[in-house]
């Protein structure tokens, strides 16, 4: 068989399954999402009516949607505030510490633990009656700081965000560390010869060296914060009331609990647009900074 014909056969057979899976489970559902978003479909009946942009109008008029979005925004802001701290810890881990391998193992561990397990561990930790966290605060004399961590509407989101930080910060630290280690050592040596101080080296060598990782972590934060699901879903079901609901929790409830697929699809598309828009803004910001 000639190699030209072979080439065609290889390309076709090797790509057939991966591309089919991609089209069937990711691309096609997305297209269907656009279609559903313009209907009043309940997810079960055979027929549905096209209702134009009614679902989108309704979405923006629903207070829960705004509440959920503001909660997502809070996740995003707190995670972004933690980025400098994560970079700092990565810089310290990059130094020759006696136990740095041990600390590296520890820092990354929460990311590898089952998310359901993490959610329930913290549910117990936050228990208001005889819970470990309140107990710990009393033991060290900070009784005034004890809270109803998951049932006080002013506190609940921060309690949940803390779980998210516990789970993902270490992962970010390891990413930053990888970025730092990819910077050639002679850059630092040359700077030392030129008499540059530690801060100077950090600003002009380390930060530019890890700008791509910063970009990646920001992208992960946007996607992660806008799609937070398992932590609120498992720990509070979005409650008390709608105090800790997030966009994805609300969307999936709308679809699977209230059988309003039209509205849920519209919500999904709104989320997609927000994620894409924020990613574009971020790319521009990084570009400006990088130049």
Partner 1 sequence: MTLRVRFNFSRILLYLLFLVITAIVLFPVAINVFTAFKTPMEVMTSSPLSLPDEWQLSNIVTAFDKGNMSVGFKNTIILVVISVVVNTVLGSMTAYVLHRFDFKLRSAIFALFFAAMVVPFYTTEVSRFQIIKSLDLYDTLGAPLLIYAGTDLLQIFIFLQFIQKISTQLDESAMIDGASYFKIYFRIIFPLLLPASATLAIIKAVDIMNDMYIPYLYMPSKDLHTLSTALMTFVSSRGSDWGQLAAAILIVMLPTIIIYLSMQKVIMSGIAEGAVKG
Residues 122-181 that bind partner 1 (CB under 8 A): 122, 124-125, 127, 130-132, 135-136, 139, 166, 170-171, 174-175, 177-179, 181
User: Binding of partner 1 at residue 72 (CB under 8 A)?
Assistant: no
Chain positions 187 to 216 lying near partner 1, rule: CB under 8 A, are 212-213, 216
User: Binding of partner 1 at residue 230 (CB under 8 A)?
Assistant: yes
User: Binding of partner 1 at residue 234 (CB under 8 A)?
Assistant: yes
Selected range binding partner 1 among 68-76, 92-100, 146-154, 188-196, rule: CB under 8 A: 92-100
C-alpha closest to that of 113 among 175, 169, 167, 173: 167
Q: How far is the CB of 110 from partner 1 (least distance, A)?
A: 6
- Toward partner 1, which CB reaches closer, 156 or 268? 268
CA dihedral over 163, 111, 105, 75, signed as positive or negative: negative
Q: Of 21, 81, 142, 190, which one interacts with partner 1 (CB under 8 A)?
A: 21
Half-sphere exposure of 78 (CA within 13 A, CB side): 21
Burial call 186-220: b when 16+ CB within 10 Å, e when fewer: eebeebeeeebeeeebeeebbeebbeebbbebbbe
Chain positions 252 to 271 lying near partner 1, rule: CB under 8 A, are 252, 255-256, 261, 264-265, 267-268, 271
- Toward partner 1, which CB reaches closer, 156 or 175? 175
Q: How far is the CB of 172 from partner 1 (least distance, A)?
A: 10
Selected range binding partner 1 among 13-21, 50-58, 151-159, 187-195, rule: CB under 8 A: 13-21
Q: Of 1, 193, 199, 288, which one interacts with partner 1 (CB under 8 A)?
A: 1
Structure tokens at 215: 């970009």
- Toward partner 1, which CB reaches closer, 57 or 178? 178
Q: How far is the CB of 78 from partner 1 (least distance, A)?
A: 16
Q: How far is the CB of 104 from partner 1 (least distance, A)?
A: 7
Q: How far is the CB of 159 from partner 1 (least distance, A)?
A: 13
Q: Of 22, 73, 190, 285, which one interacts with partner 1 (CB under 8 A)?
A: 22
User: Binding of partner 1 at residue 48 (CB under 8 A)?
Assistant: no
- Toward partner 1, which CB reaches closer, 95 or 144? 95
- Toward partner 1, which CB reaches closer, 108 or 188? 108
């Amino acid at each position: 068989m000639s190699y030209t014909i072979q080439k065609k056969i290889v390309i076709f057979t090797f790509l057939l399954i991966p591309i089919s899976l991609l089209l069937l489970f990711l691309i096609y559902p997305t297209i269907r999402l656009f279609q559903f978003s313009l209907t009043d479909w309940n997810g079960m009946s055979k027929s549905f009516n096209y209702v134009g942009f009614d679902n989108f109008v309704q979405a923006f008029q629903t207070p829960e949607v705004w509440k959920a979005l503001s909660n997502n925004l809070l996740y995003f802001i707190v995670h972004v505030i933690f980025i400098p701290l994560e970079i700092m810890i990565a810089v310290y881990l990059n130094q020759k510490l006696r136990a740095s391998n041990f600390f590296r193992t520890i820092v990354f561990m929460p990311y590898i633990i089952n998310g359901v397990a993490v959610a329930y561990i913290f549910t117990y930790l936050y228990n208001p009656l005889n819970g470990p966290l309140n107990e710990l605060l009393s033991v060290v004399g900070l009784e005034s700081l004890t809270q109803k961590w998951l049932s006080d509407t002013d506190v609940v989101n921060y309690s949940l965000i803390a779980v998210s930080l516990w789970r993902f910060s270490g992962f970010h630290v390891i990413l930053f560390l990888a970025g730092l280690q990819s910077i050639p050592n002679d850059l630092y040596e040359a700077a030392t010869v030129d008499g540059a101080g530690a801060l100077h080296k950090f600003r002009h060598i380390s930060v530019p060296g890890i700008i791509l990782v910063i970009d990646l972590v920001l992208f992960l934060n946007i996607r992660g914060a806008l799609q937070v699901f398992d932590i609120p879903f498992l720990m509070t079901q979005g409650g008390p009331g709608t105090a800790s609901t997030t966009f994805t929790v609300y969307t999936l409830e709308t679809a699977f609990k209230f059988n309003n697929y039209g509205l849920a699809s519209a919500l999904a598309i709104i989320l997609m647009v927000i994620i894409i828009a924020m990613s574009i803004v971020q790319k521009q910001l990084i570009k400006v900074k990088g130049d």
